[in-house]
Amino acid sequence: MKETRTRGGSLSSTQEAAQLRLEQVKLLYAQAPAGLIATAVNSLILAAVFWRVISPWKLVIWVFFIFAVTLLFSYLVKQYRKTTPETSEIQRWTALFIAGLFASGIVLGSAGIFLFPGQSLPHEVFLAFLLGGMVAGATGTHSVMLEGFLVYSLPVIAPITVRLLHRGTDIELAMAGLLVIFYAIMINTAYYVHKTTLKSLCLRLENRDLVSHLMELKSQAEKAVETLKDQIAERKSIEKALRESEEKYRMIFENSPLGIVHFERDGTVTAYNESLAKISGSTREEFIGLNPLNYLQDEEMKSAIAACLAGEQTHYEGLYRSRRTGTLTPVKADFSPIFGEDGSVAGGTGIIQDISEQKKAEKELGDQLHFLQTLIDTIPNPIFYKDVSGFYVGCNKAFETRLGLHKDQIVGKSVYEVLPKSLADEYHRLDLALFSNPGEQVYETSLVYADGTRHDIILNKATYTNVDGTLAGLVGVSVDITARKQGEQALRRAHDELEIRVRERTHELAAAVEDLQNEIAERKKAEEALRLSSEKLKLFAYSVIHDLKSPAVGIYGVANLLHKHYKDLLDEKGRMYCEQILKASEHVATLVEQINFYVAAKEAQIVIEKINVNEILRMVHDEFSAQLSLRQLDWYDFDVPVRIKGDRLSIHRVFRNLVDNALKYGGEQLSEIRIGYEERGDFHVFSVSDNGVGITREGSEKIFKLFERDRTARGISGTGLGLAIVKEIAERHGGDVWVEPGSERGTTFYISISNQIGSSRP
């Protein structure tokens, strides 16, 4: 080992080795209690786990020996601590410690032979794990002296490894191999721990004299401190004032809403307040000690700082890029140099302000002004505004066009500089009058346009004030009324002409009114004559119907008797004539009856009362029950009670005609008739459906007219009045009737009855 020298002299290699050995022994004895406690605790855990696997007396004996060795080892450690071993005693204390380690390793490792649980593989694994753990723990506590680690660990790990190899199963051989690998790793680890510890101890020994020298220096420093106390006492008042000044400055520095930074004379940052940290998007620690002249990318800001450190007051305004986030922040900075007692620049300070809100406000104001100017420019009427001195401060595009001048030729000029003197005198006089009596001013005047033409205008002017309410100027809007003036003149001429025409037309209208009154009188006479004619025609129709009915019934009766009693006496042609007379007379009688029904439905007064529709349907069903049974037709109607207001006979006629219509025109395909009901708003809506031959789409549009029938009814007797009667009844009940053909066959007739109908209706 090389010789180590200190301020107090030098040590020989032998002395150095002895001193190193002494330090190793001290460290071993200092770390021994941890290993002893671990040994005792692990032995108890092993006994508890193996209690049902290994004979209890073996466990008790083994634990006894463990605790005996542990107690003796503890006694050795206690004795060592009571003494202060010299270098000459190191060999004895080392031998005793190694002997203790060996005894402890023998007893602990004996568990691999005497307590080996051959009948339980899990317990074998647990035993190997526990002993391996003790070896791993020894690398930290006993590697200070490598031979101590070896004499302890080898007796611990070797017995169980040999036992596993001796048993020879695949798993136990694998476990033995793993223990060998593990032990090799632990030896390597212990070696490195040993080397590291030796280096540490060597460094401690080498610096021992240095520590002594430092203690001497400490003593000298304490004496110097005593000497300085008097000087410190003298400066206390100065320091107090300085502290107060510094405290005030610190409060200003820390609480200032503006960013503050201090530089050394070379530009190195020495102070950086929190406000500036927020502005820069970084922490103080990132900037303290940095030099902005080296990292800033903004050459203008670098130039401002450099000029400050050269002794100049400088200003900067621009965008600062954050070193951390890269975001750009608008800032304004003022840099001032700090001068020393000799007049040289000792450093600098910067006051930095985040002007993001200011820039945002300026942009918003600029945008607003641009919008207002654009708005004013889009107004077709000329607009201008002046200050209180009468000078133009702004105008719109229409005003520029009107004068034939650019805005730059108008703004800042007086009215005398942009208009002829004759007009300028009048405008100036009126402006002064408005300023003397603030408010609004409206008057008509004239203006010479850029093309030299003079136009009539209405000028609307009003004063405006500043935020504090003081008069600031006036704004004016002119409206060209030349066309209106011309229109007024044309209107006056037209008015005069119109009056002449009105007088002429009045005479014509008077004559026309007289003719119209005569025509109205003639029309009233014609309407009265038409009404009387209609009444006569109605009486004639009633008379014809009445007169036709008796002969038709008589002819039908005679033809029926003739057919009944004499048909056998007639030849074939005679019988045919008789049947034709019978059918014709029957048709005439039916037609007369249907005309009577139609006239009654149209002209007769209806009586509105509460009707039970279910009773009317039962009557209609009973009336047609013979046909329904003979043709085997199904009848469906609604079970719920339905009561409406209406004329009972008319409603009965509606359902009878619709059911008769279905039976008559349904054909052989007809197998069912359905009666339906629903409420739709202010109406009762009934439906009569059948699955017969149906009706054509064009037929559904005309069958409700008088004597109109669908082409599918050809060959079937009928009058063409049944559905017309239904329509008339529906309309007199405030409703309507309509038909919907089926998709393939069948027909559905709908009739609506108003639920708002009164108690009686003519």
Neighbours of 229 (CB within 10 A): 10
Distance of alpha carbon 217 from alpha carbon 227, whole angstroms? 15
Residues 6+ apart with CB under 8 A from 255: none
Question: How large is the average pLDDT for residues 662-679?
Answer: 88
Return the top range by mean pLDDT from 229-238, 245-254, 311-320, 575-584: 311-320
Could you tell me if residue 21 is left (phi over 0), alpha (psi between -120 and 50 degrees) or otherwise beta? alpha
Per-residue pLDDT tens digits for 512-562: 777 787 878 877 777 676 666 555 545 555 555 545 555 666 676 767 777
> What mean pLDDT is reported for the chain?
78
| pLDDT in the model for residue 715 | 47
pLDDT at 433 over 80: yes
pLDDT at 326 over 80: no
| pLDDT in the model for residue 10 | 45
Neighbours of 587 (CB within 10 A): 15
Percent of all residues in the chain with a pLDDT value above 70, rounded to a whole number: 80
| pLDDT in the model for residue 590 | 60
DSSP 8-state assignment for residue 417? G
DSSP annotation string for 379-413:
SSS-EEEEETTS-EEEE-HHHHHHHT--GGGTTT-
pLDDT-wise least confident of 49-58, 428-437, 543-552: 543-552
pLDDT at 183 over 90: no
CA 554, 559, 565 angle in degrees (round to 5)?
Answer: 125
pLDDT at 112 over 90: no
Beta-strand ranges (E) seen in 453-582 are 454-465, 471-480
Question: How large is the average pLDDT for residues 148-157?
Answer: 84
pLDDT at 600 over 60: no
3-state secondary structure of 527: helix
Return the top range by mean pLDDT from 132-136, 369-373, 585-589: 132-136
Q: Of residues 203 and 444, which shows the higher confidence score?
A: 444
DSSP 8-state assignment for residue 322? P
- Contact yes or no for 152/203 (Cβ under 8 A): no
Q: Is the pTM of this model over 0.85?
A: no
Quick one: pLDDT band at residue 1, thresholds 50, 70, 90?
A: very low
| pLDDT in the model for residue 496 | 79
Q: Residue 207 phi/psi, 5° resolution?
A: -95, 5
Distance of alpha carbon 660 from alpha carbon 624, whole angstroms? 8
Torsion of CA 236, 241, 247, 253, to 10 degrees: -130
pLDDT at 401 over 70: yes
Quick one: pLDDT band at residue 669, thresholds 50, 70, 90?
A: confident
Distance of alpha carbon 638 from alpha carbon 628, whole angstroms? 18
DSSP 8-state assignment for residue 605? P
Per-residue pLDDT tens digits for 71-111: 888 888 888 777 777 767 778 887 888 888 888 888 888 88
Distance of alpha carbon 753 from alpha carbon 682, whole angstroms? 9
Beta-strand ranges (E) seen in 199-344 are 259-264, 269-272, 314-321, 328-339
pLDDT at 4 over 50: no
Per-residue pLDDT tens digits for 677-736: 999 889 999 999 998 887 776 655 667 664 454 445 444 554 556 777 888 888 888 899
| pLDDT in the model for residue 294 | 82
Q: Of residues 22 and 755, which shows the higher confidence score?
A: 755
Return the top range by mean pLDDT from 120-124, 457-461, 539-543: 457-461
pLDDT at 325 over 60: yes
Question: How large is the average pLDDT for residues 614-620?
Answer: 90
| pLDDT in the model for residue 603 | 54
| pLDDT in the model for residue 582 | 67
Quick one: pLDDT band at residue 604, thresholds 50, 70, 90?
A: low
Per-residue pLDDT tens digits for 620-644: 899 888 888 888 999 988 877 889 9
| pLDDT in the model for residue 3 | 40
Q: How far is CA 153 from CA 28, 36, 103, 473, 667, in A?
A: 15, 14, 11, 105, 118
Give the chain's end-to-end CA distance (angstroms, integer). 143
Per-residue pLDDT tens digits for 267-293: 888 888 877 877 877 777 777 887 888
Q: How far is CA 366 from CA 361, 375, 406, 552, 609, in A?
A: 8, 14, 21, 103, 81
Per-residue pLDDT tens digits for 464-497: 888 888 888 989 988 888 877 777 777 888 777 8
Question: How large is the average pLDDT for residues 332-342?
Answer: 87
pLDDT at 429 over 60: yes
pLDDT at 175 over 80: yes
CA 671, 675, 677 angle in degrees (round to 5)?
Answer: 155
Percent of all residues in the chain with a pLDDT value above 90, rounded to a whole number: 6
> Of 1, 41, 222, which Cα lies nearest the Cα of 134?
41
3-state secondary structure of 348: strand
| pLDDT in the model for residue 701 | 62
3-state secondary structure of 245: helix
Question: How large is the average pLDDT for residues 373-395?
Answer: 86
| pLDDT in the model for residue 7 | 39
